[in-house]
Amino acid sequence: NMPDGTKCLPNTRFQKVWQIKNTGKLNWSKKFPIKVICVSGTILNNASFVTVADTKVNEITSISVDLIAPKYSGNFYSEWVLSCN
């Protein structure tokens, strides 16, 4: 996992991982699918969303996205939100 604010070389492929807890009242499953969706940013990614694994109420799951650092120097970001149908 690459912590926020990490410096890397241009065109470097890396993975960002978040651990989240299902604090709701429903299990996340095929009946109630959850996604993490990229809503904005300046870091390239291979997909606009990632499906979250089945997660029971009060359980923690890991979500990871593959990203690519831009070709030039600077400060960049990628903003993702949790979403259900």
- Report the C-alpha gap between 43 and 75 in whole angstroms: 10
DSSP three-state, residue 20: strand
Residue 1: is its pLDDT beyond 80?
Answer: no
pLDDT 10s digits, 63-74 = 999 999 899 888
Q: What is the pLDDT of residue 31?
A: 87
Provide the pLDDT for residue 4: 83
